[in-house]
Amino acid sequence: MATEGHKYIFVLGGVMSGVGKGIAASSMALILQGRGHKVNLIKIDPYLNVDAGTMNPTEHGEVFVLRSGLETDQDMGNYERFLGRDLVPEDYMTSGMVYQSVIARERALEYGGKTVEAIPHVRDEILRRINAAASHNGSNISVIEVGGTVGDFQNALFIEAARVLRLQHPHDVLHVMVTYLPTPGTLGEMKTKPTQSAVRELNSYGVQPDFIVARSSGSMDEKRKEKLAIWCNVRPDRIISAPDVESIYDVPLNFEKDHFGDLLLEALSLPGQAPADMKEWEGFVQRIKNEKDEVKIGIVGKYFDTGDFVLSDAYLSVIEALKFSGAEVGVKPKIEWVNAKDFTRDDGKEVDVSMLSKYDGILVPGGFGETGIEGKLKAIRFARENNIPYFGLCYGMQLMVIEYARNVLGLEGAHTVEINPETKFPIVDVMPEQVSLIAEGKYGGTMRLGVYPAHLAEGTIAREAYGTDVIEERHRHRYEINPEYVQQIKDGGLTFSGTSPDGILMEIAELPRDKHPFYLGTQFHPELQARPLSPHPLFTQFLKAAVAKKAG
């Protein structure tokens, strides 16, 4: 069931979720890639959703759209950022996808009258998908992150697939468990027991970890390492201490310091190679740490009811994109979350939004639905009228054009039909191909998704930033700037600096530099293609404008 000569590293979680399995998997892949191996990363999500597109970001974090248009988990964004390349649909699977293919095959009589069962049929579909990703990527090592923690009902079949593959190919498959060692405040001592229990639980599946990556707040001492080695039956040098770090981008460097790469290669019987060349990566990590000057960026959004933790997950790629461009410009973007709902009152009375003047830049990210929309429009207007650099992403671009229509062109009540289908001025309209999909309730995976090209107009901020006339960016939306209003908007002074090749879809809107230092919105999501070693040019321009604003 394995591909000849291929190596598989399964990354399994123990103790609790949220300890950074995705970062550990990405970092392992990066250091192996740095040693000249061709590595692919696979994320397995045990939920039954067929993709991540139908999930609320406050519940599950950002929806990360691949180049192909597949809507995936935010971990896929981390993978792309660490590996520095685009991932393909084969690199992602959910239980929903796996079951959907098995059931489709059953309906087509492809199982030839057999009883179709979780084992072997679902398990084998999981392995088929893992191998399909390896062959699509032409890799020699696959790092496979199994979502959830050991002991969950939902991921048991995936762990079973990992067990069977190891049984059949003992020299080609590794199991790495990422766990957590808590240090309870009242004890002041790092405890290994939860990890011991998690390993025992994994043992009950017939799986023995080869490595333990032990996350903790501080470094693990030798005593605890010995304890874990004895009780978990793992070689002490294969227990990797992974303390909290200042930046997630430190993790691969720390793994390298601990010779994790050598140990993995040894365990896979792959030839030892020179340590990973991480110079460029180190340079980037140093740049983030060295930034002294700050610019204040206000992100005006609506996902603010569930606390800061969920928030930063919902906008993960935006935050990272700002960091990468910050490292390039030499400034630290200090993000503050601004709740759009705070700018409106239930009784309809005006709210003073002048607190926004403390920001060096204002950003309105993507979004759906009505909540907070009038507040966002006020923030956008304030940025326009007060020369504060503004960057609108998707919904943030649509709202920027609506604001312009209302307050500059005088089209009172201008709106998007997503919110007000009866508006007199439907500045943002549903895309024609979306009408029947919405009417039939076909919501999953049907937006305008993935990469589309756009042409950039000479003499615009966008064109200068990209330094090229054709770009490709990733999309995720159902609505668009209504073509019927384009001429009127242009005549009113707003430029459409990026358009689809046929000229029908408006992909970037901006105000000319003589009217505003940086007032730009994109129908696409530039944040999805920003990488540590290749920051996104529009985020970089936005931060440069913020620096200039701060300097006065």
Closer to ligand GLN by CB, 215 or 475: give it: 475
What φ, ψ does residue 522 adopt, rounded to 5°? -120, 140
Q: How far is the CB of 317 from ligand GLN (least distance, A)?
A: 12
Q: How far is the CB of 200 from ligand GLN (least distance, A)?
A: 44
Q: How far is the CB of 476 from ligand GLN (least distance, A)?
A: 5
Six-digit token string for 37: 């191996």
Query: Residue 234 and residue 228: Cα distance in Å, rounded?
Result: 7
Query: Residue 521 and residue 525: Cα distance in Å, rounded?
Result: 10
Q: Which of 132, 175, 142 is nearest to 38 (CA)?
A: 142
Kindly give the interhelix angle for 395-407 and 373-385, rounded to the nearest 10 degrees.
70
Q: How far is the CB of 479 from ligand GLN (least distance, A)?
A: 3
For residue 131, which amino acid is it? N
**Contacts with ligand GLN in 361-420 (CB under 6 A)?**
366-368, 394-395, 418
Closer to ligand GLN by CB, 182 or 392: give it: 392
Closer to ligand GLN by CB, 326 or 365: give it: 365
Closer to ligand GLN by CB, 180 or 315: give it: 315
Q: Which of 510, 439, 425, 508 is nearest to 478 (CA)?
A: 439
- Burial letters for 271-306: b for 16+ Cβ neighbours within 10 Å, e otherwise? eeeeebebeebeebbebbeebeeebbbbbbbbbbee
Closer to ligand GLN by CB, 158 or 304: give it: 304
Q: How many residues bind ligand GLN (CB under 6 A)?
A: 10
Closer to ligand GLN by CB, 361 or 396: give it: 396
Closer to ligand GLN by CB, 381 or 476: give it: 476
Q: How far is the CB of 475 from ligand GLN (least distance, A)?
A: 8
Distance of CA 540 to the CA centre of its chain: 19
| Strand order from edge to edge, sheet including 479-481 | 415-416, 426-430, 479-481
Q: How far is the CB of 398 from ligand GLN (least distance, A)?
A: 6
Q: Is 77 in the site for ligand GLN (CB under 6 A)?
A: no
- Burial letters for 335-374: b for 16+ Cβ neighbours within 10 Å, e otherwise? beebebbebbeeeeeeeebeebeebbbbbbbbbbeebbbb
Q: Which stretch binds ligand GLN (CB under 6 A): 53-61, 246-254, 331-339, 472-480?
A: 472-480
For residue 196, which amino acid is it? Q
Q: How far is the CB of 363 from ligand GLN (least distance, A)?
A: 13
Q: How far is the CB of 525 from ligand GLN (least distance, A)?
A: 7
Residue, CB closest to ligand GLN: 366
**Contacts with ligand GLN in 163-192 (CB under 6 A)?**
none
DSSP state of 330: T
Identify whether the C-beta of residue 391 lies closer than 8 Å to the C-beta of residue 520: yes
The DSSP annotation for 3-49 comes to PTT-EEEEEEE-S-S-S-HHHHHHHHHHHHHHTT--EEEEEEE-SS-
**Contacts with ligand GLN in 475-494 (CB under 6 A)?**
476-479
Q: Binding string to ligand GLN for residues 194 to 213, with x set by CB under 6 A, is what?
A: --------------------
Q: List beta partners, residue 534.
A: 531
Instruction: Report the 10 Å Cβ neighbour count for 269.
Output: 9
Closer to ligand GLN by CB, 166 or 475: give it: 475
Active site residues: 394, 525, 527
Identify whether the C-beta of residue 389 lies closer than 8 Å to the C-beta of residue 545: yes
Query: Residue 277 and residue 419: Cα distance in Å, rounded?
Result: 51
* Residues in touch with ligand GLN (CB under 6 A): 366-368, 394-395, 418, 476-479
